[in-house]
A and B are shown apart, each in its own frame.
Chain A
């Protein structure tokens, strides 16, 4: 397996202490990554899609040398993880933790120049790089202000800019559009796309299905520390070709969703609550035949059906088909 990033059987196990009241505690073992295999090619915009707690950030932290993996091996930009960590860090631009990774008492420009120095850029080079990034992200008007006065979106933009300071061939972006409003998120995605077109390899983690669909060349769907599916967006959707997706909105209980899942002809059913509305996603190879049984089961469980919409297969449906859960669920390993 070759690639700009090569991951072979990477595992990470934590020992977490569980507290029970004031004095009692016990140690538990948490398997955050379970033997991940991946190869990311140069110039690729690669998405890691999964719900909160799936293991995406743990994988990113291992690849950026913040965490030592428990097992397996990985190569980033040709350098071996745990043996050439300094070279990995020098050749990766990373956005992790968003706005928390900045010094709030310093100005945006001071932040960029400081991190430039930590990438061993000499003063003239880091001043030039900081100016280029400020221009690229249109931060000129706020560049001399203390970061603490920035809006959340402006801080995220600056945190993204920080990842560009060393002009690395590989960008690792962990949920970069979190807390951004829709236009700012679109703008940032456009910059990521443009950087990718200019030859930068990008690893982009997200739990927002539409982001992965519109932006990424290939996507790995991650859940509970494992890669469940891997391929281009059309390939992943095609893997569910025989399935049709029907979305039912209304007041639907968990019991009703379970009853639907048990119906003959239904392969998966997952319930998600969005803005007070429940949406039941049902997958079936024969949706028309199953519809009367489906409505019968829902009404038998006092569900109020407001809308039934047959839909195109999305990446979220791929996730549901593999896990029986939606991306909105928190699947943190307990």
Chain B
């Protein structure tokens, strides 16, 4: 027999990377999709940018600085739209992975193998993060060049640290979302709704300080809010929530510890419930 009964970490990592490779091979068969992922956040940020210029006139930058802490509204909005794309794609990729495979029938095939759902999700998350980071990075640089601002100002390494620390709890949250998709067998409407809520809470085009107090509290329970503000503070100096970068990063570390565990616990319970009732393949 060729199969390994007690897989080591190397075996599991190899399986996760195979899942990542599968997704990358699959998306390489649709090259237009990647181009769209670079264009969309630029177009998305352009709308409030042009509206601001139209309504603020020559004083647009000063007005913006008074409320957000930076006059560089171009980079501010591009960071918002790109982090949002990263977050939105993370939800899309996990939800779509489950839904698409339910519909095509490959989900049952994958569940016939001894690879755990944790390993599979790790593979999907690696793929999603790689795809999302490349697309968001390129979109940010291209957007900055189009609107003639410097993309590499501020502390780039710190910004990357916030993105890195934010991605782990983000994929923990996507597991909750994946569990919902597995159960209700619907992804498009759920993602549509989630995108509006996420963009609102994370302060896609505005600082969360302008949100009503109760909504602001909810927004601060959401890791992408800290990720967005961390990147903006590192690059544009808009100000960390707790004043110092390491305190904000510590909050993301706390999310990093709990969100994946909670997400996986819920996912496992829903998975078992689905197996008890209709089965993994039913869609």
Contact with A along B261-275 (1 / 0, CB 8 A): 000000000001001
Complex: A114 Cα to B120 Cα, angstroms:
12
Contact with A along B86-119 (1 / 0, CB 8 A): 0000000000000000001110111111111000
- Those of B1-26 within 8 Å (CB) of chain A: 1-5, 7, 10-12, 14-15, 17-19, 21-22, 25-26
User: When the two chains form their complex, are residues B275 and A67 in contact, meaning their CB atoms are under 8 A apart?
Assistant: yes
Q: How many residues of A contact B (CB 8 A)?
A: 45
Q: A329 near B: Cβ within 8 Å?
A: no
- Those of B52-108 within 8 Å (CB) of chain A: 104-106, 108
User: When the two chains form their complex, are residues B14 and A97 in contact, meaning their CB atoms are under 8 A apart?
Assistant: no
Contacts A100-B104, A101-B106 given; indicate if A66 touches B275 (C-beta within 8 A): yes
Contact with A along B106-142 (1 / 0, CB 8 A): 1011111111100000000000000000000000000
Q: A106 near B: Cβ within 8 Å?
A: yes
B1's contact among A15, A91, A94, A118, by CB below 8 Å, is which? A91
Q: A280 near B: Cβ within 8 Å?
A: no
Nearest chain A CB to B24 CB, angstrom units: 11
Q: CB-CB < 8 A to B11: which residues of A? A: 120, 122
Q: CB-CB < 8 A to B110: which residues of A? A: 118
A68's contact among B10, B26, B276, by CB below 8 Å, is which? B276
Complex: A136 Cα to B74 Cα, angstroms:
60
B115's contact among A91, A120, A129, by CB below 8 Å, is which? A120
Q: CB-CB < 8 A to A14: which residues of B? A: 277-278
Complex: A225 Cα to B225 Cα, angstroms:
53
Query: Could you jot down 15 A-B contacts, CB within 8 Å?
Result: A65-B111, A65-B275, A66-B111, A90-B4, A90-B5, A91-B1, A101-B108, A102-B106, A110-B22, A118-B113, A119-B3, A120-B12, A123-B14, A125-B2, A165-B2
Nearest chain B CB to A144 CB, angstrom units: 13
Complex: A165 Cα to B14 Cα, angstroms:
16
User: When the two chains form their complex, are residues B275 and A68 in contact, meaning their CB atoms are under 8 A apart?
Assistant: yes
- Closest-by-CB residue of B relative to A85 is B114
Contacts A101-B105, A101-B108, A103-B26 given; indicate if A66 touches B281 (C-beta within 8 A): yes
User: When the two chains form their complex, are residues A106 and B115 in contact, meaning their CB atoms are under 8 A apart?
Assistant: no
Chain A contacts to B: CB under 8 angstroms:
14-15, 61, 64-68, 86-87, 89-92, 94, 96-97, 100-106, 110, 113-123, 125, 129, 146, 162, 165-169
Complex: A229 Cα to B1 Cα, angstroms:
33
Q: CB-CB < 8 A to A96: which residues of B? A: 108-109, 112
A101's contact among B1, B3, B18, B109, by CB below 8 Å, is which? B109
Complex: A169 Cα to B2 Cα, angstroms:
10
Chain B contacts to A: CB under 8 angstroms:
1-5, 7, 10-12, 14-15, 17-19, 21-22, 25-26, 29, 104-106, 108-116, 272, 275-281
Complex: A104 Cα to B5 Cα, angstroms:
29
Nearest chain B CB to A333 CB, angstrom units: 15
Q: CB-CB < 8 A to A106: which residues of B? A: 22, 25-26
Q: CB-CB < 8 A to A114: which residues of B? A: 18, 21-22
Identify 19 new A-B residue pairs, CB closer than 8 A, beyond the known A97-B281, A121-B3.
A68-B272, A89-B114, A90-B114, A96-B109, A97-B109, A101-B105, A101-B108, A101-B109, A106-B22, A106-B25, A117-B15, A117-B18, A120-B3, A120-B4, A120-B12, A120-B115, A122-B14, A167-B1, A168-B3
Q: CB-CB < 8 A to A66: which residues of B? A: 108, 111-112, 275, 279-281
Nearest chain A CB to B116 CB, angstrom units: 7
- Closest-by-CB residue of B relative to A167 is B2
Q: Which of B11, B18, B116 has the most CB of A within 10 A?
A: B18
Q: CB-CB < 8 A to B3: which residues of A? A: 90-91, 119-121, 166-168
Complex: A67 Cα to B273 Cα, angstroms:
10
- Closest-by-CB residue of A relative to B116 is A86
User: When the two chains form their complex, are residues A103 and B106 in contact, meaning their CB atoms are under 8 A apart?
Assistant: yes
Nearest chain B CB to A127 CB, angstrom units: 12
Q: CB-CB < 8 A to B109: which residues of A? A: 96-97, 101-102, 115, 162
User: When the two chains form their complex, are residues A89 and B112 in contact, meaning their CB atoms are under 8 A apart?
Assistant: yes
Contacts A100-B104, A120-B4, A167-B2 given; indicate if A15 touches B277 (C-beta within 8 A): yes
Nearest chain B CB to A66 CB, angstrom units: 6
Q: CB-CB < 8 A to A87: which residues of B? A: 5, 114
- Closest-by-CB residue of B relative to A117 is B18
Nearest chain B CB to A186 CB, angstrom units: 26
Complex: A64 Cα to B281 Cα, angstroms:
13
Complex: A216 Cα to B200 Cα, angstroms:
62
- Closest-by-CB residue of B relative to A86 is B114
Q: CB-CB < 8 A to B12: which residues of A? A: 120
Complex: A146 Cα to B112 Cα, angstroms:
23
Q: CB-CB < 8 A to B1: which residues of A? A: 91, 166-169
Complex: A15 Cα to B25 Cα, angstroms:
39
User: When the two chains form their complex, are residues A118 and B277 in contact, meaning their CB atoms are under 8 A apart?
Assistant: no
Complex: A148 Cα to B107 Cα, angstroms:
18
- Closest-by-CB residue of A relative to B119 is A118
List the 9 closest pairs (A to B, CB-CB), nearest first.
A100-B105, A117-B18, A101-B109, A166-B3, A118-B113, A120-B11, A167-B2, A120-B4, A90-B114
Complex: A81 Cα to B231 Cα, angstroms:
49
